[in-house]
Structure 1
Amino acid sequence: MLKIRGFAVGLLIVALAGVAGAQKKAESPAELADEAAIRDYVLTMPKIEAFAAAQKEYSGGKADAAVAAEGKRLEADEKSSMLEKVKMIETTCPHLNAWIRQHGMTPREFMLTPMTLMTVGIAEYAKQKGGKLPDFISEANLQFYEQHKADLEKLGLGSGGGDSE
């Protein structure tokens, strides 16, 4: 399993609620949209490195109070889907939106990079155990994950990297 701490974990948990895991079929239009976004998103090392740097800054307490407050508000919203949260960042979280953009990402990239990485990591583990991959996992992202495991672990985003906090 991926080991991502702090703010990213909160956002991922909330986003995962919308995706609902590999075994459950999406039931709502929002869940289907989240799954389609994950399937169509293309992981790259520059995107992952930008996210990792932002996450490290945030979890290290270097993000300002306004950014942290908006992040906590997003984390507390358990009803919105991942893509709904992207819209929230764009429209109701000006500090968080600006902070994300200062790190070279769009709000969509900020949400989809860790979410796609996490779902692909889970899928890769399931594949190793003989499980069936969910339809919303792209083969290209699965290959990317397998090829970049060592890099991801160095960033604390792979199966063996990072702290266990």
Structure 2
Amino acid sequence: MKFLALGARPLRRGLSAWLLAVAMLISFGAFAQQGPSLPEADQQAIKNYNLNDDVFNRLIAATKEARAQGIHPQSPPNAAQVHNLDDLTQQALKADNRIEPLIKKHGFTPRDFMLANLALMNAAIASQAKSDPETAKYVDQSKINQANVAFYESHQAQLQALMAPPQDGGPAPQGK
């Protein structure tokens, strides 16, 4: 996706797994690495989306509920059918008819949910680029919302707790 200029370079394994979970089964990560660029207006909407605790907590709750319902990461959307953010969102919703009611339950419109996830993904990749020169080559800093990067970095422990495997067969640790 050109808003980060990632090209086809794969993300680190842990970050990829985290993004898939936080994206709650919507495969924008694969789209970002392989798909066409979104229009400039959509890129700006992603950059201008401001993450906050309310959005973050709802994303976490939706992710946990998706896991509980057995909703799994989907295959990448058909890039030939994705010309903008709305197309990407519709492709994601078609993947499993349980996704839309779930995200609505957590107070998101489908588009807002996609924007929040893409903003979080953008922040995660930009954060990774700070310590990974190889990733940094592919990040267009003009497309990065630095406030979102700081927000992401301040919530990394919670995200790691979300990704931790369940212990003793119980539920995964709760992130707040």
TM-score, normalized by the shorter chain, greater than 0.5: yes
* Counterpart in the other structure of 1:104: 107
Q: Distance in 1 between matches of 2:19 and 2:30?
A: 14
Amino acid at match of 1:39: K
How many angstroms apart in 1 are the aligned matches of 2:147 and 2:101?
30
Residue 96 of structure 1, CA deviation:
3.9
Q: Which runs of 5+ in 1 are unaligned?
A: 21-25, 157-161
TM-score (norm 2): 0.61
Question: What letter matches 2:60 in structure 1?
Answer: A
Q: Is the 8 A contact 1:19 1:34 kept in 2?
A: no
TM-aligned CA distance change 1:51 to 1:38, over 3 Å: same
- The aligned counterpart of 2:27 is 11
Give ranges in structure 2 of 5+ residues lacking alignment. 1-14, 166-176
Distance in 2 (CA, whole Å) between partners of 1:137 and 1:39 is 6
Between 1:93-102 and 1:103-112, the stretch displaced more is: 93-102
Alignment of 1:126-137 (within 5 A): 126-129=129-132, 131=136, 133-134=139-140, 135-137=142-144
Aligned match of 1:60 in 61, 64, 68?
A: 68
2:48 is aligned to: 40
Tell me if structure 2 keeps the 8 A contact 1:18–1:82.
no
* Structure with greater proportional helix content: 1
Specify the alignment match of 2:124 in structure 1. Answer: 121
The amino acid across from 2:125 in the alignment is I
| SS of equivalent residue, structure 1 residue 151 | helix
Give, in whole Å, the separation in 2 of the partners of 1:118 and 1:58: 18
In the TM superposition, residue 119 of structure 1 has moved relative to its aligned partner by 1.8
For the pair 1:148 / 2:155, whether they are aligned, the reply is yes
Cα distance in 2 for partners of 1:78, 1:17 equals: 11
Displacement of 1:76: 4.0
Higher relative contact order (CA 8 A, sep 6+): 1
Q: CA RMSD in A?
A: 3.5
